[in-house]
Structure 1
Amino acid sequence: MDAYCSNNVLQARRAVEQLRLETELQRVKISAAAAQLVQYCQDHRRADPLLTGIAASSNPFRDKKTCVLL
């Protein structure tokens, strides 16, 4: 039972140390992060293939010509 208790104490110490490290982190405010994300999306919208589409000549996923059997 002694090994069980020492294992629990070790886990608790690790958890406390992790929590101490997390309290020292500098966090970005949600509103600032959201504003940065919106700005990034607006700055890069011309290069976004989801918005502009992909040219048929450079699209590797376009349908190949079908084979016609006679």
Structure 2
Amino acid sequence: NSSSNNVLQARKAVEQLRLETELQRIKVRSAAQLVQYCQEHRRADPLLTGIAASSNPFRDKKTCVLL
């Protein structure tokens, strides 16, 4: 079970890295151009909108501790 969980986490991490490498990069010549680009693309930015907790391989694992 632990082994299959590690494989699943690794697959999710690889999928996330693939998504990040597919992002289009642009050359920015001025701060105003950068601000304009960020405002135009803010809805598709995973840093601003976040990603679903179910598909996030980096989310904190919480455990329940009873005292």
TM-score range, shorter chain: 0.3 to 0.5
Inter-partner Cα distance in structure 1 for 2:26 and 2:42? 24
Instruction: Look at both structures and tell me which one has the larger radius of gyration over its CA atoms.
Output: 1
Q: Which runs of 4+ in 1 moved over 6 A?
A: 6-30, 67-70
Name the structure, 1 or 2, with higher relative contact order (CA <8 Å, separation 6+).
2
Higher helix residue share: 1
Structure 1 equivalent of residue 50 of structure 2? 53
Q: Which runs of 5+ in 1 are unaligned?
A: 1-5
Percent of paired sites with the same residue: 92
The number of equivalent residue pairs is 63
Give TM-score, length-normalised by structure 1: 0.40
Distance of 2:6 and 2:65 partners within structure 1: 71
Cα distance in 2, alignment partners of residues 64 and 9 from structure 1: 16
Structure 1 stretch displaced more, 7-16 or 46-55? 7-16
Query: Is there any run of 5+ residues in structure 2 with no aligned partner, and where?
Result: none
* CA–CA distance in structure 2, aligned partners of residues 51 and 67 of structure 1: 29
The TM-score with structure 2 as length reference comes to 0.41
Asked whether the equivalents of residues 12 and 56 of structure 2 are also in contact (C-alpha less than 8 Å), the reply is no
